[in-house]
Structure 1
């Protein structure tokens, strides 16, 4: 029944989404020309674009997972994917209009269309969620689930499902060994022992079963799965080794042998990695040219402020734990390599020059790293690279610290725009870095770059 409801819901959603594309174009045209007295194309001339836009929106929404079951997807995920799909469709449309040299279409109509499509689609999703939540509150369209196991994992799962009621799961009971029937576990009644499982499934309308027992109980585990399969109930396994996997695992296989990749890194994909690198090369090249006058002013300022070299180079650890030389404008008095490589910069550090203090506060000292990006040592966005001396220390003290070297280090990053830079928590920085590595998208990079412009350059923790 649940699956049939999902199919019906998906069909309704597709019809609404594609209807919104048509309505948005009509509204955009009306808004642009309703009070316009000059000459302009009739609406019929815009209708052929729908031949492209309607199937294109369906394809992009489907490709980005907007027609999958939403029980486990947050609303922010949906909004992000809707915006991403609309931007992609717009880029494709404008590219096509450029290729065919169509100059008569009103660009304002198309811009209004983009805004209206996104706004109306998001509003539609809000309304659908509200309707579904209302239906579930009345006891309809819920997934009735049974949890097998009474240990730590079972308690965590019960709490998670109860705290996230919008998912629509209703726990009918818990099944486990060595626990009295009728006893409450995290507020849920124990319905019976595992030996009673088949009867419990037959007597109850169960849509899904969660297995939370340890896989070391192999014979019991195999018997449970056999009963679930025999009953035709959808079954999910909550692995007891999940506490050892600090990431979103990805399934793979070799000749039918399943493999669990505990660390999913989107940039391992060649096309994604190539797109990011191409963007880095293009932006760093343009950036170096645009920043030449700024470079000249800073160089003169450094020379007048203190004796010594203009560019400060320092060994850092980068992609795949390979060392490289990172460049910055010199912001401190001249010192030995041992001093600069093993001392942490603090707020009242007396090694800083007067101009250096300003450059650090505004992050202008980082501009030469555009050359590192162009060379391929770094990326515009990524985890900040650290000195080998500190890497050796941190990898022993900070769990998962070395994961940051799965991608190219960046001039700016998710940790930096969230305030974790300078003399702040290394653990918080690594949490942000790992989140970035596992959730990378091109739009995420753009978001970080925009945030850097507004809040990342000048930072109270930058010293």
Structure 2
């Protein structure tokens, strides 16, 4: 099944190529064979790019064939796209060519079903718990109750987070040096397009619920900052035709170039390149009163882009915020370098196409 929605074997392809190229370089070094570093590096990058393109273009569209044991959450998965579902009517049913069997392991099944499940596992047929299958197929983690392992599963690996912080610092510093001329031009165009400051500042909720000041290019007509949750909610749920957005601001929002000043937030350590998007302090506090467990999204640094941003459209009501939270929980629970690579690739596609941007 999918390791991550949209990446699955893509992660294995990158790992395999990296190990192969490292082994090749090691062999050449030990045997003192001549090789060109530039050619080796370019070959590696080209190989990774080619395999990822093939994977993202073709494999993601593949339809899975899953059978499921009736009972509990398993029967609710029939609406999940890109999967052909087959209901197993009786324990004696012979399986034919299924990619996997899905069963809700939190349900007490009849002994005949338990015997059949054991038989399928011994036959080498992959078996997935319905909750895990739903998470991996949809890219969402829904938390309606706190189970014994909920908090543990939402605590990301501290070693990976520290390594990620170091990478964030160096990558953001490099991007600032490269993009500073573009940011200066954008700031000048904002000033010419409408009166007001080029940079928008706002207090937002950050890592471990500690507020910080976020920087963005202004995309709306200048107005004083407010701490009213309802006004902030309306501001967060802007639509394409919103009259408050300036002409140049529409271009910045569509390409997400309005987020570039947040590179300085990343350099300061307030944010990460990839993570849940930070919300205004007053709005975050209001969400906590409306949505159970909302505050757990602060268990990881907020990001310039994230899993929710590349998978969700415009936020138009509280239900969309709940959906965004489910996506954030999925990222926190399944954080890895490969998931970050997938998010980065999708973000680049959004910058150049405008598809999915807000």
Deviation of the 1:338 alpha carbon = 1.7
Greater C-alpha Rg: 1
**Correspondence list, 1:149-298, <5 A:** 155-156=71-72, 163=87, 166=98, 207=118, 260-265=148-153, 268-298=156-186
Deviation of the 1:383 alpha carbon = 0.8
SS in 1 for 2:13: helix
Deviation of the 1:451 alpha carbon = 0.5
Match of 1:419 among 309, 312, 317: 312
1:416 and 1:456 in contact (8 A); partners too: no
SS in 2 for 1:333: coil
Q: Does residue 357 in structure 1 map to residue 250 in structure 2? A: yes
TM-score, normalised by the number of residues in structure 2: 0.65
Q: In the alignment, what sits opposite 1:436? A: 331
Residues 261 and 332 (structure 1), Cα distance of their counterparts in 2 relative to 1, 3 Å cut:
same
Match of 1:446 among 338, 341, 345: 341
User: Aligned partners of 1:157 and 1:423: how far apart in 2?
Assistant: 28
Mean Cα deviation higher: 90-99 or 446-455: 90-99
Q: Does residue 103 in structure 1 map to residue 34 in structure 2? A: yes
> How many residue pairs end up in the alignment?
297
Residues 292 and 104 (structure 1), Cα distance of their counterparts in 2 relative to 1, 3 Å cut:
closer
Match of 2:301 among 408, 429, 451: 408
Deviation of the 1:423 alpha carbon = 3.6
Deviation of the 1:73 alpha carbon = 8.0
Indicate the structure whose relative CO is greater, using CA pairs within 8 Å and at least 6 residues apart. Answer: 2
Residues 81 and 264 (structure 1), Cα distance of their counterparts in 2 relative to 1, 3 Å cut:
farther
1:242-263: per-residue Cα shift (whole Å, max 9, x none)? Answer: xxx956x9xxxxxxxxx94313
1:318 and 1:324 in contact (8 A); partners too: yes
Q: Structure 2, unaligned stretches of length 5 or more? A: 60-64, 78-84, 89-94, 121-128, 131-140
TM-score, normalised by the number of residues in structure 1: 0.52
Mean Cα deviation higher: 155-164 or 308-317: 155-164
Q: Structure 1, unaligned stretches of length 5 or more? A: 1-69, 127-132, 134-146, 148-153, 177-184, 192-200, 210-236, 239-244, 250-258
1:417 and 1:456 in contact (8 A); partners too: no
1:363 and 1:457 in contact (8 A); partners too: no
1:48-107: per-residue Cα shift (whole Å, max 9, x none)? Answer: xxxxxxxxxxxxxxxxxxxxxx9x989988624531431330353366368667424885
Q: In the alignment, what sits opposite 2:134? A: none
1:210-265: per-residue Cα shift (whole Å, max 9, x none)? Answer: xxxxxxxxxxxxxxxxxxxxxxxxxxx99xxxxxx956x9xxxxxxxxx9431345
User: Aligned partners of 1:293 and 1:206: how far apart in 2?
Assistant: 62
SS in 2 for 1:316: strand
